[in-house]
Structure 1
């Protein structure tokens, strides 16, 4: 009897243990579910918005053309409304009036960055672009602005350096002898070299494979950073431990880029003389040494790597994609291209190279570049922001730390400020006498304290590269082909790969 009783106890104990584990798991799951649903409740006074799906919220609504979806939602819920991104309560700003109220009139309130798991993983909320609003951001922003001024746009010789890069660029295009080619590679290299001159004091050749690879990874991460997987990771960071998903590719790319940047920084800081900086890296290392005894200082080798990477990608993506769209639209609208040719030829007599002083003499060229920036919306949602303190907007209350999306696409397609915004028309930037006119609702570089610090440099590059290119070439598509103008989605809107023919115009041009 004793042996039979002992034997019967074992399976009962196992069953009880399994039942207990199952109950604990169910209770934990129920707790997490209730916790998630509580997170998804809108706070009192919060803007309304589209109804979320339980748990995942409105994440999948942003999977395709999020800027278009958000503008359509503003027509239902108003210029300011909310989204639930898997428990991350988010406010969306639409239309020029609303964006100006928040980013300009309440600039400091909307100057923070959201503490998203993705930002924490990628840059630990350090560096420059994703840094939290405060002393660290102020110090890094000041250093970057000074560096762009001292080593870039504020330097008299820097325009000549851009012009030299323009010549490398058009000479490389000339090598295709008017045959079809994809301009992405050459445009990206040429534009990134301008930023490289400021950061490293040196350009990279167009056949530098290591640098090319890094730029390609950067470009890929710009797409991956707003993919569905990235949004899911922000909502549910535990998926980091899943062996699959595009977020894993994002992290692998970042690690590879940071390792490469560390080696490049070491190479270009060799021979540095303290307090005699040759470029941004030298200037940063000076700050790092001067603040070495200050525990509150945010200057570090890690933040140097993050800052360099962010400046390279920010200085490359916007201008590169603007020029790629410009080439596509010139070939798509030959009548506009012909008028650009006439204006360039009328100003740049005897084939001389363009200078920034020619800018005010070329109102139509300026109008074309502005319309491309407006119509193509290179950075449609800007970079996500957060409130640094409680905000009051249009009668709504937005708590401190709330993530904010600024839909710049809705600003550039705001019917209140733009007549027929869905039509590509450079003429909207000209008055009745053909003079260039600035438009109020034009914010391709955003607004407020977090506006693009490289705006002046980007404008210099766009004008010089565009005029040098159109002075030398007529752009047309290969016979029988017309590429799509539907953009490739990511943090930036870039053209899908296309081929173009750059045919040498019959003019006298300056030598290489």
Structure 2
């Protein structure tokens, strides 16, 4: 046997050994596609994730099943009852965040989204409480949301009913609201700098959930030395952190320890000052920078994607758009700005907004969790330190819970009297202890931006253009396919 034949024989033996190890290891986990060396379950999943990818696997293997990413097992929870059991009823056992390579680079285990233990608990509790305070009481933030809604109306109005791409104006407005929450209205950020920040945030969110991220997580050391899209993303991460550090430094020059906090950075610097003598505190400038980075990454693209879907769906369903506009006209005082409290008398509009979020399901899968203890869910054993992914799409499209899950139907959120009714199955913001940090801020922005645009325009599909493509663009945040739309002044 020649050298080449010997090497081939060795390679085959190694593959057989690796395959045998995988078959032995999979006995400990819930059922799922057979994993193969190097590719794991990708032969069954494919490199391109679709909305129904995991839902189809659930039909074959049940609502608790295992897929393998390379040599690593990932347990998937599908359907409302299963996801609720995992994330709500067993929230402590599934509270961990796995430190996979890309997550580690994004956060260095700081902030809220990608941290664990004491850091996560303290940063989450503080950040959530502070954001709620800012959203409810901070006049500057409310004023900025109203201001950005007005800017959006002006931007769309300048096109005079001609086709426009709404995505970047929406992203820029979302980014400016987060900037106000983080740094206040007297920030040193210029429009061009904020635009650059928004572009870098978009680069990061596009990479997350892609095949590129999957490859990076499997071969991080190798890819450090190879050019590719991951290099641009890593550069964007550094830009975001550097940008925020600079703004925090500018903030510190004006900050007074005993002054009245005006924004998130003020509140956080005050907390650092209070705990400066505690050697175990997690409140420091590194965590401050990362928490603000988390807010930008989590809150910019998600809002823009949801509003993009909203405008597209209104153009596709003019009868629903007309009912929203009729309700806005009859229920609101035209001389006053729309406020978040107005949702209580806008039952149909509120239902439409929630149905937009359900139908578009822009976050298909919640960020992976780490199982902190051995866990049994509906008879399936999940070992400690296993990665667990909740399929939120399977909840928002669960045929056991929604009358017409595959159709855009605001009646999902209306009772028999036409009143808005909340649904337990509405997991658009996730659920449990790792649910969306800025949920209240996002709901406020979404409601005010949407109602202001509906009051000002009727959205129509451009004449002569091919009909709307409702196929989603997959990623960590699911956008509609790129489109242009006509905002016709009312």
TM-score normalized with structure 1 length: 0.88
- The answer on whether the counterparts of 1:217 and 1:257 sit within 8 Å (CA) in structure 2 is yes
Gapped regions of structure 2 (runs ≥ 5): none
What does residue 147 of structure 2 align with? 164
| Native 8 Å contact 2:99 2:114 kept in 1 | no
CA shift for structure 1 position 107: 0.9
Task: Supply the distance in 1 between the matched residues of 2:229 and 2:143 (Cα, whole angstroms).
Answer: 42
Number of the residue aligned with 1:14: none
Of stretches 186-195 and 27-36 in structure 1, the one that deviates more from structure 2 is 27-36
Give the superposition deviation at 1:52: 1.9
Deviation at 1:271, TM superposition (A): 0.8
1:416 to 2:397 alignment: no
Distance of 1:72 and 1:435 partners within structure 2: 34
For residues 200-226 of structure 1, the C-alpha deviation after alignment (integer angstroms, 9 at most, x for no partner) is 112889981221122112112112122
1:456 aligns with 2:440: yes
Of the candidates 443, 463, 483, which is equivalent to residue 498 of structure 1?
A: 483
Deviations 1:148-173 (A, max 9, x none): 12322344664344223222221222
Structure 1 stretch 336-345 or stretch 246-255: which is displaced more? 246-255
- What does residue range 189-204 of structure 1 map to in structure 2 within 5 Å? 189-202=172-185
- 4+ residue runs over 6 A deviation: 26-33, 203-207
SS in structure 1 at match of 2:372: coil
| Whole-Å separation in 1 of the counterparts to 2:233 and 2:332 | 46
Conserved 8 A contact 1:88-1:235: no
Matched-pair contact (CA < 8 Å) for 1:200–1:279: yes
Deviation sequence 1:104-139 (CA, Å, 0-9, x none):
11111111101211112222222210111x211111
Q: Is the 8 A contact 2:22 2:36 kept in 1?
A: no
CA distance in 2, matches of 1:119, 1:314: 13
Q: 1:429 aligns with which of 386, 407, 413?
A: 413
Shift of 1:365: 0.5
Distance (whole Å) between structure 1 residues aligned to residue 412 and residue 186 of structure 2:
37
Change in CA separation of 1:266 and 1:157 when aligned onto 2, cut-off 3 Å: closer
What value does the CA root-mean-square deviation take over the aligned residues? Answer: 2.8
Aligned residue for 1:231? Answer: 214
- What aligned pairs does 1:161-310 form with structure 2 within 5 A after superposition? 161-202=144-185, 208-276=191-259, 277-310=261-294
How far residue 30 of structure 1 moved from its aligned partner, in angstroms, is 7.9
Task: Tell me the residue number matched to 2:357.
Answer: 373
| 2:63/2:77 contact within 8 Å kept | yes
**Aligned match of 1:484 in 452, 458, 469?**
469
CA separation of 1:259/1:62 partners in 2, compared to 1, >3 Å: closer, same or farther? Answer: farther
1:252-283 Cα offsets, whole Å, 9 max, x none, are 22122222222222223331112433322232
8 Å CA contact 1:45–1:396 kept in 2: the answer is: no
For 2:146 and 2:244, the matched residues in 1 are separated by 27
1:275 and 1:91 mapped to 2: Cα distance? 49
Gap change, CA 1:195 and 1:241, over 3 Å in 2: closer
Stretch of structure 1 that moved more, 469-478 or 232-241: 232-241
**Aligned counterpart, 2:54:** 70
SS at 1:368 equivalent: helix
Give, in whole Å, the separation in 1 of the partners of 2:10 and 2:127: 51
Aligned 8 A contact 1:67 1:380 in 2: yes
Q: Which has the larger radius of gyration?
A: 1
Give how far 1:36 is off: 8.7
- Tell me if 1:118 matches 2:102: yes
How many Å separate the matches in 1 of 2:15 and 2:231?
A: 24
Q: Given that residues 487 and 496 in structure 1 are in contact (C-alpha distance below 8 angstroms), is that contact kept between their aligned partners in structure 2?
A: yes
Given that 2:181 and 2:263 are in contact with CA atoms closer than 8 Å, whether structure 1 keeps it comes out as: yes
User: In structure 2, what is the Cα distance between the partners aligned to 1:253 and 1:332?
Assistant: 35
Matched residue of 1:449: which SS?
A: helix
Aligned to 1:11: none
Give the equivalent residue in structure 1 for 2:346. Answer: 362
> What is the match of residue 380 of structure 2?
396
How does the TM-score come out when normalised to structure 2? 0.91
